[in-house]
C-alpha cells in the first residue's frame, strides 16, 4: 500500500515548527492511529491528548488541514489522496506541547454557570414528559471536545474577548438549563451581560464542526438570543412593564403564559 | 531540588469516573476538604463509554420488579461468586441513586406517564436499565461533573498518581503524583484515600478500554498492602467491533440486542439457541417465534437467548468462530437492520449508528454489524468491606471497577453504572467518617523521594528499551495466553513471560522532557500494567474451573467447591512492584437463609 | 479576573482566573485550510450584490410595475405592493388606494423598507453577510478581518434584536401579497372576469415562498412555542412549534429561493406591464 505524509506541528510555549513523518498506509485507519504509530516508532514523546478512541470522550480534538476535527473520527481515506495531512493543535487555546492544548478556559467558564436549581421534589418524585426532555437531551449529547470553542472566531481571533465570552459549548449548557422543565433559575441577564451572547454573530461554524451534530446555532444560541429579546429588547414588553409598573418577568412567569 | 507542590486534604479521591465523582460529592457535602485527582481531563473518564444504561429496580416499566429480583439476577449473573451483601446493597440502593441524579439535572428517557424509562438488557429478568438513548454513561458523568463543579470540589486534572504514601503503622497517608502537562511532582497528604481508578483492559490487545485503564488503582493498592481478589475474572464483552482492524475492540452496546438485534453466523443461523446453559434454560425461549414475542410483551414468551449474560454470549461467539462459521473478519453478525425500522434504530441507537457509519462505513439500518468479543471489564479488584468499601489498609477505600466482590465472576450489563453510584457514595461516606475521626497526617519524605526517583528513572536512563515495545509485547501476550479461553500450559508460559517483561521494565527509557511526554507517561504506567497482568494470570492459573469471566479449556465445568472460594492476592514478602505476589484461597461469606430462599423459589 | 454575579444564584468563586495569553499552537497563519473555502463567500457576494443592484434600480424606476385592465390583467409587482399611488388603480384591484398623493417619488422606497429590514435582520442572512461581506470570519477557521470585535453586543448591531418586529410587519406584507395573488386571477373586461395566466401562477408561487420564508423564521419558531420551558403544559404551542421546526431547518433554502423569486416576479410583471412579453393565458 502507499504511504501517507503527516505534517505534524511540534512545539510548545517557546514556539515550534512542522515535522514531516512518512508512514505506510493501513486500511481503515483514522488519523489518531497514524499518530500512535509515529509515537510507537519514531517520536515517543509526540504529545497528543486522547482517551476513548471511539468519538465518545472528546479528548483528541485538533486541527486537520486547518479544520477542527476529532483525530479518532477522521479516517485517512476521507482525506485528499496523495496530499500531506497537516495536523496542528487547536488554535484558540494556549499550547502545552505539540498537539495538546491547555483547555482550562472551558473549565473556568463551566464554573460560572449557575447550577441547576429544580423545583421542590414532589412526594411521588419528579415527572417529566419525553417531549420536555428532548430539547435538553440534544445539548447533553455534547462530549466537550471544545472544537466549537476552538472554531469560534470571537475568541479564536480575539484573545481579549475570552474573559467575557462563554462560547458555544456553554451557550448550549445555558440553553439546556433554560429549557429544563424543572429548573427555576433565570439566566438570561447573565448570558447577555457577562457571557457575551451578543458577541455571537451566528456564523454557524460551531454547528459545522460539532462531532455530535448538535444544532448549536439553531437550537441553542438563537433561541437564547430570542429569550434575551423577551427579557431585554422587546419594546412592547418594555412599555408594558413601564405602564404596569412591573419588574421584568421571571422565567417562571414567562413559562406559564396562557396559550 | 526546587520546592515541590504539596496539598493537604481530608479525603483525596483518585480517579474521576462515576465512582470517584460520586465519592467526592459525598465527602464534599459533608463539609470536608476534598480533592479529586484524575489523569485525564474532567469528564473524559471511561464511564462515558457506558452506553446501555444503569440498572435499578425502580419498577417503572414492570411493576413486578423489585430489589430481590435484581439481587437474584446479579448473583446468578456473577455465578454466585459475588459478595452477597454488596449485591444486596446495590440492588436496594440503586433506585435512590438514580433518582438523585435527576435532582442534579440528568435527563433520562421517559415513560408515557413521565417516569424514568427502563430498557431490557442481558441477564436482567425485567426491563430495568434507566437510560438516555445509547449514551447513558455520558449523561451520568456530565451530571456528576456538573454537581462536582457546583459544589466547588478541588479537581486536579491530568495529574497522574504514581504511588500511595503510607504511615509507619501501615495506614494510608496520601499520594504522590505528577502533572502531565508540566511533569512536575506534587504530593497530597490525606487522612483517607478513595481509589476509583477503573479497570485494567489496556494490557490486552483488543479492548474496549482507553489508555487510562492500566490498573493503577489495583496495583497501587497491592503495593500499599491491600488485598486483591477475583483478578482472573475478566469480562469479554460479546459485541465489540472487529473491523477495520484499527477500531477492533470498540464497544457495540448490548442495547442493540435489548432493542431487538440478533446474532447470526455466516450461515445466517441464530446460533444462540444452541448455547443455552441449564441454569438459564427455564427462562429462555426455545424458538425464534417465542423469542420475538417477548420483545413486545414479556409475558407472551421467554427471553431471547441473545440476552443471556455476557460471558455466555461471548463464549458462544468464540465457539462459532472456531467452528468456521464466522464472518470474513473473524466475528459474527449482529443484525438489527432486518428487524427494526431505520427510524427506530436511529432514535434508539444514535451513537452506534454514527460509530459504524463513520469508522467502518457500515449503515446499521441496512446491513448487519460484524462483531466479536472484546476485553471490557474486570470483576476483580481491591478486596473491600461491603458496607464501607474499606480495604484492609486503614484509610484506603476502593469503589467501582477498582474494587471486587459486587459482580462475582461476571458482571451484568447495566450493573456497573449503578455500582459506581451506590459504592462511590458508600466509599465517600466511610472515607469521610474515617477522616473525621483522625487527626492530621504527615507524609514520609523518604518514601516520596524514592517514588519520584523511580518515576524519573526512565528519563535518565539512556539506550534503554522503548516503552511502546514493552506495552506491545504485553498486549500480545495477554491476548494470546490470558484471553477469553485459558489453558494451564499457556498460563504458566504467560507468567514466565511476565517475569521477563517485569525485568525489561527496569531497563525502559524515555526520550524527551517531562512536559506532556506520552512515552514517559507510558513508562510510568507499565509497572501497574504488568502487576495486574501477573495477578490476572495467577488467578486464572489457580482457579481450575470455568465460571463467568474465567474460562478454562482444560476445566470446562464450574466446580461447586471453587464456587465457595475467593482467590485473594497479596504481597507477603514486602510490598512493591518488584516483590512477589501470593495467592491464597479464602472462603466466601455465606448468604443468610432469607436470601438463599430467593434462589430456591426460582428453581 | 472576571467574576460573575447573578442575584438568582451563587456568586462565582473560582480561584483561578481564565487563562489568557500564552502562546498558541500551530503556525501564525490566517488559515491552514487548503480547500476552496473562499468559494461560498464569493458566490454570496455575487448574488446578494446583484439583487441589491437590481432592487435599487427597480425601486427607483417607478414605472411598469402594474399590468392592469388595459391588458385584462391585475398583476402588481411585489416591490410596489400595496398599491399606494394612482399608477396601479384599476377597478379597485390592490388595496391601499391612492393614500399618498403627496408622495411623488417611487412608492417602492416606502414599501421595501419592511421586507429589506426583515431580511437584513434575519438570522440566516446575518450569517451570510457577516461571513461574505464583513469577513467575520470569511469561513470557519479562517481568521476574521478585524482588529477588535464586539459582534452584536453594541450599537448599531445590537439593533438586530428587533428582528421579530420586522417579522410581524413581514406577515402583514405576506397577507397583502397573498391578496395580490388572489387578485391575479382577475381578468377585468374579458369573459367571466376570471382566469389563470402564467402571471397568476408566478404571484401565487411568490406568495407561497414568502410564507415559507416567514414561517420558517427563527423568531417565528420562538414565538410559536420555543420560549416555553414545558411543552407538555402548553400543548397548542408545542404543536405550533413542531409544525414550524422542520420549516426552520430549511430556512436558508427558503431565504434564497424566495429572494430569487421575488425578483423574478418583479421582472415578470415588469416585462408584461411594459409590453415586452405577453402574459400567456392558461385557462
Rounded CA-CA distance A47/A35 in Å is: 10
Strands (E), A116-230: none
Q: Is residue C260 part of a domain?
A: yes
Instruction: Tell me the per-residue pLDDT of C139-165, one tens digit each, with 9 for 90 and over.
Output: 999 999 899 999 999 989 999 999 999
What is the reported pLDDT for C101? 63
Nearest chain B Cα to A135, which residue? B107
Q: How confident is the model at residue C87 (pLDDT cuts 50, 70, 90)?
A: low
Question: Residues A140, A76: one domain?
Answer: no
Residue A91 to residue C234, Cβ atoms within 8 A: no
Instruction: Determine the structural domain holding residue B477 and report its residue range.
Output: 456-562
Residue C222 to residue A99, Cβ atoms within 8 A: no
Question: Residues A17, A145: one domain?
Answer: no
Q: Which of B42, B114, B212 sits opposite A128 (nearest CB)?
A: B114
Q: Are the CB atoms for A195 and A112 separated by under 8 Å?
A: yes
Residue C218 to residue A226, Cβ atoms within 8 A: yes
Number of domains present in the structure of chain C? 1
Find the catalytic residue in B124, B147, B257, B552: B257
In total, the C-beta contacts within 8 angstroms joining chain A to chain C are 236
Number of domains present in the structure of chain A? 2
Q: Which of C27, C35, C123 sits opposite A9 (nearest CB)?
A: C27
Residue C141 to residue A105, Cβ atoms within 8 A: no
Q: How far is CA A31 from CA A37, A69, B209, B311, in A?
A: 10, 10, 19, 33
Q: Is residue B154 part of a domain?
A: no
| Average pLDDT rounded to a whole number, residues A156-177 | 96
The CATH number of residue B501's host domain is 1.20.58.100
B110 to chain A: which residues are within 8 Å by CB? 128-130, 133
A92 to chain C: which residues are within 8 Å by CB? 24
Number of domains present in the structure of chain B? 2
| Residue of A67, A80, A165, A257 to mutate for C, most C C-beta atoms under 10 A | A67
What is the reported pLDDT for C5? 33
Tell me, yes or no, if A46 comes closer than 8 A to chain B by beta carbon: yes
Rounded CA-CA distance A256/B236 in Å is: 51
Residue C130 to residue A218, Cβ atoms within 8 A: no
Q: Specify the DSSP class assigned to residue B156.
A: E
Residue window 153-212, chain A: list those with CB within 8 Å of chain B: 177, 180, 183
Rounded CA-CA distance B173/B175 in Å is: 7
Residue A53 to residue B113, Cβ atoms within 8 A: no
Question: Residues A95, A127: one domain?
Answer: no
| Residue of C12, C121, C122, C141 to mutate for A, most A C-beta atoms under 10 A | C141
Kindly list the partner chains of chain C, i.e. chains with 3 or more CB atom pairs below 8 Å.
A
What is the reported pLDDT for C21? 64
Question: Residues A117, A222: one domain?
Answer: yes
Tell me, yes or no, if A79 comes closer than 8 A to chain B by beta carbon: no
Residue C248 to residue A117, Cβ atoms within 8 A: no
Element housing A85 (H / E): strand A85-88
The CATH number of residue A248's host domain is 1.10.1060.10
Residue C32 to residue A86, Cβ atoms within 8 A: yes
Element housing A258 (H / E): none
What is the reported pLDDT for B11? 98
Q: How crowded is residue B305: how many other Cβ atoms within 10 Å of its Cβ?
A: 27
Q: Which of B103, B109, B516 sits opposite A100 (nearest CB)?
A: B516
B95 to chain A: which residues are within 8 Å by CB? none
| Average pLDDT rounded to a whole number, residues C263-281 | 94
Q: Is the pLDDT of residue A171 over 60?
A: yes
Provide the shortest C-alpha distance from residue A238 to chain B (in Å).
32
Q: Is the pLDDT of residue A244 over 80?
A: no
Find the catalytic residue in B72, B218, B237, B497: B237
Can you say how many angstroms the Cα of residue B531 is from the centroid of all Cα atoms in its chain? 17
What is the reported pLDDT for A247? 58
Give, to the nearest 10 degrees, the angle between helix C251-273 and helix C39-61.
40
Q: Are the CB atoms for B86 and B423 separated by under 8 Å?
A: yes
Question: Nearest CA to A99 among A64, A149, A75?
Answer: A64
Provide the shortest C-alpha distance from residue A29 to chain B (in Å).
6
What is the reported pLDDT for C91? 41
| Average pLDDT rounded to a whole number, residues C173-192 | 91
Q: Where are the alpha helices (DSSP H) in B342-444?
A: 342-348, 350-355, 415-436
Q: Which of A28, A52, A136 sits opposite B48 (nearest CB)?
A: A52
Please enumerate in sequence order all residues whose Cβ is within 8 A of that of A70, keeping only pairs 6 or more positions apart, or say none. A55, A58, A60, A61, A145, A147, A211
Question: Residues B362, B255: one domain?
Answer: yes
Q: Which of A39, A49, A115 sits opposite B519 (nearest CB)?
A: A39
What is the reported pLDDT for A243? 78
Rounded CA-CA distance B492/B489 in Å is: 5
Residue C19 to residue A108, Cβ atoms within 8 A: yes
Q: Are the CB atoms for B402 and B382 separated by under 8 Å?
A: yes
The last residue of one of the domains, among B375, B402, B429, is: B375
Question: Residues A97, A121: one domain?
Answer: no
Q: Is residue C43 part of a domain?
A: no
| CB environment B130-149: b (16+ within 10 A), e (fewer) | bbbbbbbbbbbbbbbbbbbb
Q: Which of B41, B251, B358 sits opposite A73 (nearest CB)?
A: B358
What is the reported pLDDT for C20? 59
Residue A51 to residue B44, Cβ atoms within 8 A: yes
The CATH number of residue B242's host domain is 3.90.700.10
B237 is catalytic: yes
Q: Is the pLDDT of residue C95 over 80?
A: no
Provide the shortest C-alpha distance from residue C2 to chain A (in Å).
6
Q: What is the overall mean pLDDT for chain A?
A: 91
Q: Is residue C127 part of a domain?
A: yes
Instruction: Determine the structural domain holding residue A212 and report its residue range.
Output: 104-255
B90 is catalytic: no
Question: Residues A213, A242: one domain?
Answer: yes
Kindly list the partner chains of chain B, i.e. chains with 3 or more CB atom pairs below 8 Å.
A
Nearest chain C Cα to A97, which residue? C25
A102 to chain B: which residues are within 8 Å by CB? 181
Q: How confident is the model at residue C88 (pLDDT cuts 50, 70, 90)?
A: low
Residue window 177-236, chain C: list those with CB within 8 Å of chain A: 218-219, 221-223, 226-236
Q: Which of C23, C149, C227 sits opposite A161 (nearest CB)?
A: C149
Q: Which of A56, A110, A126 sits opposite B351 (nearest CB)?
A: A56
Q: How confident is the model at residue A201 (pLDDT cuts 50, 70, 90)?
A: very high
Q: Are strands A15-24 and A3-12 parallel, antiparallel or unpaired?
A: antiparallel
What is the reported pLDDT for C7? 30
Q: Is the pLDDT of residue C129 over 70?
A: yes
Q: What angle do CA B198, B202, B204 make, to 5 degrees?
A: 130
Cell 423469542 belongs to B291
Question: Residues A66, A126: one domain?
Answer: no
Please enumerate in sequence order all residues whose Cβ is within 8 A of that of A208, keeping only pairs 6 or more positions apart, or say none. A151, C140
| Average pLDDT rounded to a whole number, residues C201-223 | 97
Question: Residues A116, A244: one domain?
Answer: yes
Q: Specify the DSSP class assigned to residue B36.
A: E
Q: Are the CB atoms for B424 and B26 separated by under 8 Å?
A: yes
A160 to chain C: which residues are within 8 Å by CB? 148
Rounded CA-CA distance A227/B315 in Å is: 55
B157 to chain A: which residues are within 8 Å by CB? 107
Q: Is residue C4 part of a domain?
A: no
The residue ranges of chain B whose pLDDT is under 70 are: 1-2, 601-603
What is the reported pLDDT for C14? 37
C143 to chain A: which residues are within 8 Å by CB? 153, 156-157
What is the reported pLDDT for B129? 96
Q: Are the CB atoms for C117 and C166 separated by under 8 Å?
A: yes
Question: Residues A160, A240: one domain?
Answer: yes
Residue A227 to residue C222, Cβ atoms within 8 A: yes
Provide the shortest C-alpha distance from residue C280 to chain A (in Å).
42
| Average pLDDT rounded to a whole number, residues A48-69 | 95
What is the reported pLDDT for C2? 33
Kindly list the partner chains of chain A, i.e. chains with 3 or more CB atom pairs below 8 Å.
B, C
Q: Is residue B484 part of a domain?
A: yes
Q: How confident is the model at residue A234 (pLDDT cuts 50, 70, 90)?
A: confident
Question: Residues A111, A51: one domain?
Answer: no
Question: Residues A95, A187: one domain?
Answer: no
What is the reported pLDDT for C99? 58
Residue B135 to residue A141, Cβ atoms within 8 A: yes
Q: Are strands B381-382 and B369-378 parallel, antiparallel or unpaired?
A: unpaired
Q: Is residue C41 part of a domain?
A: no
Q: Which of B114, B245, B511 sits opposite A127 (nearest CB)?
A: B114
Q: Are the CB atoms for B66 and B392 separated by under 8 Å?
A: no
The CATH number of residue A66's host domain is 3.10.20.30
What is the reported pLDDT for C70? 86
Q: How confident is the model at residue A248 (pLDDT cuts 50, 70, 90)?
A: low
Instruction: Determine the structural domain holding residue C224 and report its residue range.
Output: 65-273
More confident residue, C103 or A121: A121
Beta bridge partners of B263: B334
| Residue of A44, A128, A215 to mutate for B, most B C-beta atoms under 10 A | A44
**ipTM field:** 0.92
B107 to chain A: which residues are within 8 Å by CB? 128, 133, 136-137, 140, 180
Residue window 14-33, chain C: list those with CB within 8 Å of chain A: 14, 16-27, 31-33
Query: Cα-flanking dihedrals φ and ψ of residue B327, to 5°?
Result: -80, 170
Q: Is residue C17 part of a domain?
A: no
Question: Residues A167, A227: one domain?
Answer: yes
Nearest chain C Cα to A220, which residue? C226
Nearest chain C Cα to A215, which residue? C249
Amino acid at each position: 500500500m502507499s504511504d501517507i505524509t503527516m505534517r505534524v506541528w511540534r512545539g510548545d510555549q517557546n514556539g515550534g515548527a512542522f515535522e514531516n513523518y512518512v508512514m505506510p498506509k493501513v486500511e481503515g485507519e483514522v488519523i489518531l492511529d497514524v499518530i500512535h504509530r509515529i509515537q510507537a516508532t519514531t517520536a515517543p514523546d509526540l504529545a497528543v491528548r486522547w482517551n476513548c478512541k471511539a468519538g465518545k470522550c472528546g479528548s483528541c480534538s485538533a486541527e486537520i488541514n486547518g479544520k477542527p476535527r476529532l483525530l479518532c473520527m477522521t479516517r485517512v481515506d476521507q482525506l485528499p489522496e496523495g496530499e500531506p495531512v497537516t495536523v496542528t493543535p487547536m488554535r484558540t487555546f494556549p499550547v502545552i506541547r505539540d498537539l495538546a492544548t491547555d483547555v482550562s478556559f472551558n473549565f473556568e467558564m463551566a464554573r460560572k454557570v449557575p447550577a441547576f436549581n429544580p423545583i421542590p421534589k414532589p412526594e411521588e418524585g419528579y415527572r417529566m414528559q419525553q417531549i420536555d426532555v428532548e430539547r435538553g437531551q440534544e445539548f447533553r449529547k455534547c462530549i466537550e471536545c471544545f472544537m466549537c470553542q476552538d472554531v469560534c472566531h470571537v475568541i479564536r481571533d480575539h484573545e481579549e474577548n475570552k474573559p467575557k465570552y462563554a462560547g458555544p459549548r456553554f451557550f448550549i449548557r445555558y440553553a439546556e438549563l433554560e429549557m429544563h422543565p424543572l429548573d427555576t433559575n433565570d439566566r438570561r441577564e447573565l448570558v447577555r451581560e457577562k457571557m457575551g451572547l451578543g458577541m455571537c454573530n451566528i456564523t454557524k461554524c460551531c454547528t459545522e464542526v460539532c462531532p455530535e451534530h448538535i444544532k448549536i446555532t439553531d437550537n441553542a444560541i438563537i433561541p437564547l438570543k430570542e429569550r434575551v429579546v423577551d427579557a431585554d429588547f422587546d419594546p412592547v414588553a418594555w412599555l408594558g412593564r413601564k405602564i404596569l409598573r412591573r419588574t421584568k418577568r421571571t422565567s417562571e412567569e414567562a413559562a406559564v403564559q396562557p396559550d | 531540588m526546587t520546592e515541590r507542590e504539596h496539598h493537604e486534604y481530608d479525603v483525596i479521591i483518585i480517579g474521576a469516573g462515576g465512582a470517584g465523582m460520586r465519592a467526592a460529592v459525598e465527602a464534599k457535602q459533608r463539609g470536608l476538604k476534598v480533592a479529586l485527582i484524575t489523569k485525564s481531563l474532567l469528564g473524559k473518564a471511561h464511564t462515558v463509554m457506558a452506553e446501555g444504561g444503569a440498572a435499578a429496580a425502580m419498577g417503572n416499566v414492570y411493576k413486578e420488579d423489585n430489589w430481590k429480583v435484581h439481587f437474584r439476577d446479579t448473583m446468578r449473573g456473577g455465578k454466585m461468586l459475588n459478595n452477597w451483601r454488596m449485591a444486596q446493597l446495590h440492588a436496594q440502593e440503586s433506585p435512590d441513586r438514580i433518582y438523585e441524579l435527576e435532582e442534579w439535572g440528568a435527563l433520562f428517557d421517559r415513560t408515557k406517564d413521565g417516569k424514568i424509562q427502563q430498557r431490557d438488557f442481558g441477564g436482567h429478568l425485567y426491563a430495568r436499565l434507566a437510560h438516555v438513548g445509547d449514551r447513558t454513561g455520558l449523561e451520568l458523568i456530565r451530571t456528576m461533573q456538573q454537581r462536582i463543579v457546583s459544589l466547588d470540589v478541588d479537581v486536579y486534572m491530568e495529574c497522574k498518581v504514581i504511588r500511595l504514601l503510607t504511615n509507619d503503622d501501615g495506614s494510608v497517608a496520601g499520594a504522590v503524583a505528577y502533572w502531565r502537562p508540566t511533569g512536575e511532582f506534587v504530593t497530597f497528604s490525606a487522612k483517607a484515600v478513595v481509589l476509583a481508578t477503573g479497570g485494567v483492559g489496556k494490557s490486552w490487545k483488543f479492548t474496549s478500554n482507553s489508555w487510562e485503564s492500566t490498573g493503577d488503582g489495583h496495583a497501587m493498592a497491592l503495593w500499599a498492602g491491600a488485598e486483591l481478589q477475583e483478578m482472573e475474572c475478566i469480562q469479554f464483552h460479546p459485541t465489540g467491533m472487529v473491523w477495520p482492524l484499527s477500531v477492533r475492540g470498540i464497544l457495540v452496546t448490548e442495547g442493540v440486542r435489548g432493542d431487538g438485534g440478533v446474532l447470526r453466523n455466516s450461515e445466517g443461523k441464530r446460533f444462540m439457541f444452541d448455547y443455552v446453559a441449564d441454569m438459564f434454560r427455564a427462562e429462555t425461549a426455545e424458538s425464534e417465534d417465542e423469542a420475538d414475542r417477548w420483545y413486545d410483551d414479556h409475558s407472551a414468551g421467554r427471553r431471547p437467548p441473545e440476552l443471556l449474560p455476557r460471558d455466555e454470549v461471548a463464549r458462544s461467539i468464540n465457539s462459532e468462530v472456531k467452528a468456521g462459521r464466522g464472518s470474513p473478519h473473524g466475528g459474527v453478525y449482529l443484525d438489527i437492520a432486518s428487524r427494526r425500522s431505520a427510524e427506530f434504530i436511529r432514535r434508539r441507537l444514535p451513537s452506534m449508528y454514527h460509530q459504524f457509519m463513520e469508522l467502518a462505513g457500515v449503515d446499521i439500518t441496512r446491513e448487519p454489524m460484524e462483531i466479536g468479543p472484546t476485553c471490557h471489564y474486570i470483576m476483580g479488584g481491591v478486596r473491600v468491606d461491603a458496607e464501607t468499601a474499606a480495604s484492609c489498609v486503614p484509610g484506603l477505600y476502593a469503589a467501582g471497577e477498582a474494587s471486587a466482590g459486587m459482580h462475582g465472576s461476571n458482571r451484568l450489563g447495566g450493573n456497573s453504572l449503578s455500582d459506581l453510584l451506590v459504592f462511590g457514595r458508600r466509599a465517600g461516606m466511610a472515607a469521610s467518617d474515617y477522616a473525621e475521626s483522625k487527626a492530621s497526617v504527615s507524609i514520609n519524605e523518604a518514601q516520596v523521594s524514592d517514588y519520584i526517583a523511580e518515576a524519573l528513572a526512565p528519563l535518565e536512563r539512556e539506550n534503554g528499551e522503548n516503552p511502546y515495545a514493552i506495552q506491545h509485547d504485553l498486549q500480545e501476550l495477554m491476548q494470546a495466553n490470558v484471553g477469553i479461553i485459558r489453558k494451564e500450559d499457556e498460563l504458566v508460559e504467560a507468567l514466565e513471560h511476565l517475569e521477563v517483561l517485569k525485568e525489561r521494565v527496569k531497563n525502559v527509557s524515555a526520550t524527551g522532557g517531562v512536559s506532556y511526554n506520552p512515552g514517559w507517561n507510558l513508562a510510568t504506567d507499565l509497572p501497574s500494567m504488568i502487576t495486574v497482568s501477573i495477578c490476572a494470570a495467577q488467578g486464572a492459573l489457580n482457579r481450575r474451573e470455568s465460571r463467568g469471566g474465567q474460562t478454562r479449556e482444560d476445566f470446562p465445568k464450574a466446580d461447586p467447591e471453587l464456587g465457595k472460594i475467593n482467590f485473594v492476592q497479596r504481597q507477603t514478602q514486602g510490598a512493591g512492584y518488584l516483590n512477589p505476589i501470593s495467592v491464597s484461597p479464602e472462603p466466601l461469606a455465606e448468604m443468610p437463609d432469607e436470601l438463599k430462599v430467593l434462589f430456591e423459589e426460582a428453581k | 479576573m472576571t467574576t460573575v454575579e447573578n442575584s438568582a444564584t451563587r456568586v462565582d468563586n473560582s480561584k483561578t482566573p481564565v487563562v489568557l495569553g500564552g502562546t498558541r499552537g500551530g503556525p501564525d497563519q490566517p488559515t491552514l485550510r487548503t480547500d476552496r473555502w473562499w468559494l461560498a463567500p464569493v458566490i454570496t457576494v455575487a448574488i446578494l450584490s446583484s439583487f441589491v443592484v437590481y432592487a435599487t434600480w427597480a425601486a427607483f424606476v417607478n414605472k411598469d410595475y402594474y399590468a392592469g385592465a388595459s391588458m385584462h390583467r391585475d398583476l402588481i409587482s411585489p416591490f410596489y405592493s400595496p398599491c399606494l399611488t394612482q399608477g396601479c388603480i384599476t377597478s379597485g384591484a390592490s388595496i391601499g388606494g391612492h393614500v399618498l398623493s403627496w408622495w411623488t417619488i417611487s412608492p417602492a422606497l416606502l414599501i421595501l423598507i419592511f421586507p429589506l429590514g426583515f431580511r437584513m435582520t434575519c438570522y440566516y442572512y446575518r450569517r451570510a453577510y457577516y461571513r461574505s461581506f464583513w469577513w467575520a470570519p470569511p469561513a470557519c477557521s479562517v481568521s476574521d478581518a478585524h482588529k477588535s470585535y464586539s459582534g452584536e453586543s453594541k450599537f448599531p448591531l445590537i439593533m438586530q434584536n428587533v428582528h421579530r418586529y420586522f417579522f410581524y410587519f413581514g406577515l402583514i406584507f405576506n397577507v397583502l401579497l397573498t391578496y395580490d395573488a388572489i387578485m391575479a386571477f382577475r381578468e377585468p373586461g374579458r369573459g367571466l372576469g376570471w382566469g389563470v395566466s402564467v402571471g397568476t401562477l408566478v404571484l401565487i408561487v411568490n406568495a407561497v415562498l414568502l410564507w415559507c420564508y416567514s414561517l420558517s423564521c427563527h423568531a417565528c419558531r420562538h414565538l410559536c412555542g420555543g420560549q416555553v420551558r414545558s411543552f407538555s403544559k402548553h400543548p397548542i404551542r408545542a404543536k405550533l412549534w413542531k409544525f414550524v421546526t422542520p420549516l426552520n431547518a430549511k430556512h436558508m433554502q427558503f431565504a434564497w429561493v424566495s429572494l430569487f423569486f421575488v425578483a423574478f416576479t418583479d421582472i415578470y410583471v415588469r416585462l408584461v406591464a411594459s409590453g415586452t412579453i405577453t402574459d400567456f393565458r392558461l385557462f
